[in-house]
Amino acid sequence: MKLSDRVLKVRSKNAGPFWVTIDIFCGSPAAYAEVVSRLPTETVARLYATEMQLVKRFDIADLNVVKFSIPRPVIQGAAADRDMHGAQWAHLLAETEL
């Protein structure tokens, strides 16, 4: 099952020019518990080709949200940047098998 089949929404956006942040809105305590237990931080680091220790993770039970923040591999707007707002990054994670 893909992550997007289990949760309400996965979104991503720049958090300033040097970071991208990804929010998973799970929608229910059950879905939240499943995401927390079945989505290791390693998966996110691998998907976005970044080092594990640079990934910030927040499991927020009050909101049924799991949040990841990742340093941009390419600074926003640099010659090699392909997504100025970082909003299409979310789909890579949304399509991941849980």
Q: What phi and psi, each to the nearest 5 degrees, are found at residue 45?
A: -60, -40
For 20, residues 6+ apart whose C-beta sits below 8 A from its C-beta are 12, 13, 14, 69, 70, 72, 86, 89
Asked if 79 touches another protein (CB under 8 A), the answer is yes
Site for another protein in 7-46 (CB under 8 A): 13-19, 21, 23, 25
Q: Please give the structure tokens belonging to residue 27.
A: 């929608």
Residue 51 in the binding site for another protein (CB under 8 A): no
User: Could you say which of 1, 49, 51, 53 contacts another protein (CB under 8 A)?
Assistant: 49
| Chain positions contacting another protein, by CB under 8 A | 13-19, 21, 23, 25, 47-49, 56, 58, 60, 62-63, 65, 67, 69, 71, 75-80, 82-85, 88-89, 92, 95
